[in-house]
Structure 1
Amino acid sequence: MEPRRDPRGALVRPYAVTRGRTEPRQEIALEAVLMATPTQVAESRFAGHDKHRIATVCDGRAQSMAEIAAYTRMPLGVARVLVADMVTEGLLTLNTAAPVEGFEERMELLGRVLSGLRRL
């Protein structure tokens, strides 16, 4: 039997989950790639239910900020605050791409992206 859904929404309001904060501790792009190791997932159990859900979604899989919000069914603003906290606390690993320096490198990168898109 499927549990009944409350038409009024979640019982806990988003501001309660983030303790009233609306801005993340650090800026993380929506497309930033985040992962959690099994150790990080285990440690996240002690950080609260919502953080553990996020770590479970990222367990061994690279996920973007937008994907995390979608899979956990959290508002994006809430996910941004919690994910930034988790990166600061060492519960998630933020994988950043190396910056592209010059024009030639940018064109090469764009060429690889275009080639990959064409193969789809």
Structure 2
Amino acid sequence: MEMPRRAEQRSLVRPYTRTGGRTRPDRDLEIEALVSTSEQGRRHEGATSVAHRGICDLCTETRSVAEVAAHLALPLGVVKVLIGDLADAGLVLIHQPGLFVGDRSSQEFLERVLAGLRAL
């Protein structure tokens, strides 16, 4: 019997072992927060795991926390912890959204989200 394709792609490492069993990040990260790799992160200085290096490589182009989780096929909570660790080490920069209901930037942001969802 052939295994489903999704099962073949799964890692043998349990997601929360990547975070040392932590389930909550030290910082409050929104899923739409943007993450970019710092100069230190581009050189992987202080990247302690394969997952950390993968996030640094992925975020050389600025991406949202949700995109990082999707690209790495990891739970959002795990990715938030990993990104928080990387930010604390100075390997990534986090750009939190500054949305205020009813202002121009929130409308533009929602339009970008809608366009991104349609593109899926």
* TM-score in terms of structure 1 length: 0.73
* Secondary structure class of the residue paired with 2:43: helix
Aligned residue pair count: 111
Supply the AA of the counterpart residue of 1:81.
V
Q: Using a 3 Å threshold, how does the CA distance of structure 1 residues 7 and 83 change in structure 2: closer, same or farther?
A: same
**1:47 and 2:48 correspond:** yes
Q: Give 1:52 shift.
A: 0.4
- Equivalent residue, structure 1, for 2:104: 108
- Equivalent residue, structure 2, for 1:30: 31
> CA contact under 8 A between 1:28 and 1:80: conserved in structure 2?
yes
Equivalent residue runs for 1:64-79 within 5 Å: 64-79=64-79
* TM-score in terms of structure 2 length: 0.73
Supply the AA of the counterpart residue of 2:19.
T
- Equivalent residue, structure 1, for 2:14: 13
Question: Unaligned regions of 5+ residues in structure 2, if any?
Answer: none
Identity %: 29
Q: Using a 3 Å threshold, how does the CA distance of structure 1 residues 113 and 69 change in structure 2: closer, same or farther?
A: closer
Supply the AA of the counterpart residue of 1:39.
Q
Q: Give 1:27 shift.
A: 1.0
CA distance in 2, matches of 1:80, 1:113: 21
> CA contact under 8 A between 1:44 and 1:52: conserved in structure 2?
no
Give the superposed CA RMSD.
3.3
Question: Unaligned regions of 5+ residues in structure 1, if any?
Answer: none
Equivalent residue runs for 1:55-94 within 5 Å: 55-59=56-60, 61-94=61-94
> CA contact under 8 A between 2:38 and 2:90: conserved in structure 1?
no
> CA contact under 8 A between 1:36 and 1:55: conserved in structure 2?
yes
| Bigger Rg over Cα | 1
Q: Give deviations 1:49-75, integer Å, cap 9, x for gaps.
A: 10000111001x110000001111212
CA distance in 2, matches of 1:9, 1:43: 25
Q: Give 1:10 shift.
A: 2.1
Q: Give 1:47 shift.
A: 1.8
